[in-house]
A and B are shown apart, each in its own frame.
Chain A
């Protein structure tokens, strides 16, 4: 069947045989041999989870490389990033890929989140997968927020100031939360140290655990099929995970790599100007695009809504929105009962539209209001 195995293939077979004699790899072999992926008109969405994983791995690798030169103190952070961009061989490449990949990862993660939502993949038996995924989403946003500060430039400094101010709007514990986030009353070198620790130690540790669980569950339970396709009763064609799906995955991943390289070469991530806490905030500070809709919403809310501050209402609103998404497997009774659930479709569509419209508005608004 196969042509004569190549040298590499033979080496690989010998290595796996050696391991197999010591640890029983038969379970793994079975999985590889029998894991299948359903093929239907919504199969395209299956690629986005893996794409997010690939981009995360890129982040880990480039992040570790950046770690070797970055210095997490207010006096040296900016200069160390400048050093990486100008003096270190290919430092510009590693840094730009890291920044661009972060954004791409959150974009694919959001596509993954909403495609799972709209195909109702969160329904039984995959509730835990959804919950762990929501945690991962929160972790990803925290990765983004903490990493953004690390170059210690003006934009990052003020974005962090505003962002931690917003956290302070949470009733009762808000002020304490802001103090804990900032490592003090204001954004200072202490904040930088804290964010650095969160970014390179705390979050990676959490991710390892929760991502491990998420991937394990996906392997154990296989891929979910959208309800209407399941309900149609027709037999669903499949393709083997190894090698068919995996090779297609690889095509996607390599394309993403090419895109990242092009972005790094043609649109290098800017360095900006070193943060000066005493200078006034520049006009037009904006958070990254994945926070833009929240930022813009807060701008639109009036100063007072009833007895509460407008900002508090906004923050609570987002909290509730997040909680809704978190608990959707348990809230969507109709889907749990195997029925169509148009309400949840429209809620989801509403959320997506809201995010898109507010983000666009955020970029269109003239700098400062």
Chain B
């Protein structure tokens, strides 16, 4: 058939149309010499920018190559298109990148045309950061805008594929900070990425999908990236863990840490590999953090032991109560009321664990004894439920016994009647 080619051609055309739409890619503008030439060249040195462009948010807003690089996109002659006279700057130098981006992104009047709520102080912040300072000193390896936001295919910050999307931030920073070879010569730890990935914050972000969990930029800042100072680490942690920070500040540790030059929070909990805390961190055995400073004869050692004992008591009481209530529930008894009340004891345990930061055994004991009473009360309810269960079982066996006696009587009667019928 002469028109047989129509079908596969249509299919291919539809695929192309569909797939290009599917990739979220946009249509590249026609008649733009930069895009047309660079795409057509097929040279790995100059073609990639044009190929990445369809995903870029700047393209979506109508900002094209010449808006950053200068030149004349209407001129298809290489000399004319890339002429200095037309403002062509070629590939910008490393040092020049923040200023280049800042030409627009620090211009409030300009940015208002696109998104009035966007901040315009990123460049200013950047130069306060360690990256910015090193860049001004001539460092060629340090991060600039494009190191974190990528270039030519910059995605909106809400886009899940963006390098700056919360879940991906650690890998973006990790491109340098997690590479010991790259970071040779800088005085920064290079195990931060692998440490952070062990942390409970990373788990919250990736496994629990809690996008409010902290990643690199939350504690270090985005553009003004710098490690928080010794005396300000606790403030940073305290933006979320405000209650704990407050307790810590009221404790004797605060003054002591300041005078010893120790950072709050981080000293016991670490900064990057923040693990899920457990009761074993408190106390006097070898897993506890208290013994790192307090020696066995000190008052602090004694207090640590008391606090740990309180926590252990309540935790065990809650466990016992939970176990017996579970047993009762499993056996079919209704114990939802008791289980609800047990929540109160678990809440007290949670609060007691937070109160550890006050380093005051009396405060902890107040909570644990209250919780203990609740737990013991619910334990009693669980025990009662099991007693009721035993009562039911006893009742059943008596019923079965009575029924059996009756059945035996019936059986004998049946035999007797059958016999009599035989005789009579």
Contacts and interface: CB of A to CB of B under 8 A. Distances in A.
Interface of A: 1, 82, 85-86, 92-93, 239-240, 243-244, 247-248, 250-251, 254-255, 257-258, 261-262, 264-268, 270-271
Contacts of B60: none
A46 to B, nearest CB: 15
Nearest to A270: B332
B294 interface: no
Contact of B332 (A239, A251, A262, A267): A267
Contacts of B410: 247, 250-251, 254
Contacts of B404: 258
Contacts of B406: 254
Nearest to B392: A265
**Residue of A1, A248, A250, A261 with highest tally of chain B CB at under 10 A:** A261
Contacts of B411: 251
B417 interface: yes
A3 B327 CA distance: 56
Contacts of B417: 243-244, 247
Contact of B393 (A93, A257, A265): A265
Nearest to B334: A86
B407 A271 contact: no
Nearest to A250: B410
Contacts of A244: 414, 417-418, 421
Interface of B: 332, 334, 336, 392-393, 395-396, 399-400, 403-404, 406-407, 410-411, 413-414, 417-418, 421, 424
A247 B414 CA distance: 7
B334 A85 contact: yes
B403 A257 contact: yes
B414 A265 contact: no
Contact of A261 (B332, B400, B424): B400
A248 B418 CA distance: 11
B301 to A, nearest CB: 49
Contacts of B413: 243, 247
Given A244-B414, A244-B418, A244-B421, A266 B393 contact: yes
Contact of B334 (A1, A240, A255, A271): A271
A310 B332 CA distance: 40
B407 A265 contact: no
A258 B334 contact: no
A255 B392 contact: no
Contacts of A86: 334
A258 B403 contact: yes
Chain A interface, >50% SS class? helix
Given A82-B334, A258-B400, 17 more contacts: A82-B336, A86-B334, A240-B421, A243-B413, A244-B414, A247-B410, A247-B413, A251-B410, A254-B407, A255-B407, A258-B399, A258-B404, A261-B396, A261-B399, A265-B396, A266-B393, A267-B332
A257 B414 CA distance: 20
Contacts of A268: 332
Given A240-B421, A254-B407, A262 B400 contact: yes
Contacts of A266: 393, 396
A92 B414 CA distance: 35
Nearest to B385: A86
Nearest to A267: B332
Contacts of B392: 92-93, 265
A253 to B, nearest CB: 10
Nearest to A263: B396
A250 B411 CA distance: 10
A100 to B, nearest CB: 12
Contact of A265 (B336, B395, B424): B395
Contacts of A93: 392
**Residue of B332, B411, B417 with highest tally of chain A CB at under 10 A:** B332
**Residue of A244, A248, A255, A265 with highest tally of chain B CB at under 10 A:** A265
A191 B392 CA distance: 35
Nearest to B424: A1
A86 B404 CA distance: 29
Contacts of B332: 267-268, 270
B328 to A, nearest CB: 12
Contacts of A251: 407, 410-411, 414
B179 to A, nearest CB: 44
Nearest to A268: B332
A241 to B, nearest CB: 12
Contacts of A257: 403
15 contacts: A82-B334, A239-B418, A243-B413, A244-B417, A247-B410, A250-B410, A254-B406, A254-B407, A255-B403, A262-B400, A264-B396, A265-B393, A266-B393, A267-B332, A268-B332
Contact of B414 (A248, A261, A271): A248
Contacts of B407: 251, 254-255
A261 B393 CA distance: 10
Q: Give the top 10 A-B pairs by smallest Cβ distance, nearest first.
A: A268-B332, A265-B396, A86-B334, A258-B403, A265-B392, A247-B414, A258-B400, A261-B399, A254-B403, A251-B410
A315 B414 CA distance: 48
A147 to B, nearest CB: 20
A265 B410 CA distance: 25
Contacts of B336: 82
**Residue of B336, B410, B411 with highest tally of chain A CB at under 10 A:** B410
B410 to A, nearest CB: 5
B414 to A, nearest CB: 5
Contacts of A267: 332
Contact of B396 (A250, A262, A271): A262
Nearest to A265: B396
Nearest to A257: B403
A265 B407 CA distance: 21
B404 to A, nearest CB: 7
Contacts of B393: 265-266
B306 to A, nearest CB: 41
B336 to A, nearest CB: 8
A250 B403 CA distance: 11
A157 B256 CA distance: 61
Contacts of A265: 392-393, 395-396
A93 B389 CA distance: 12
A285 to B, nearest CB: 21
Contacts of B396: 261-262, 264-266
A265 B332 CA distance: 9
Contacts of A240: 421
B55 to A, nearest CB: 35
A255 B413 CA distance: 16
Contacts of B424: 1
A368 B381 CA distance: 37
Contacts of A270: 332
A330 B414 CA distance: 40
A6 B392 CA distance: 36
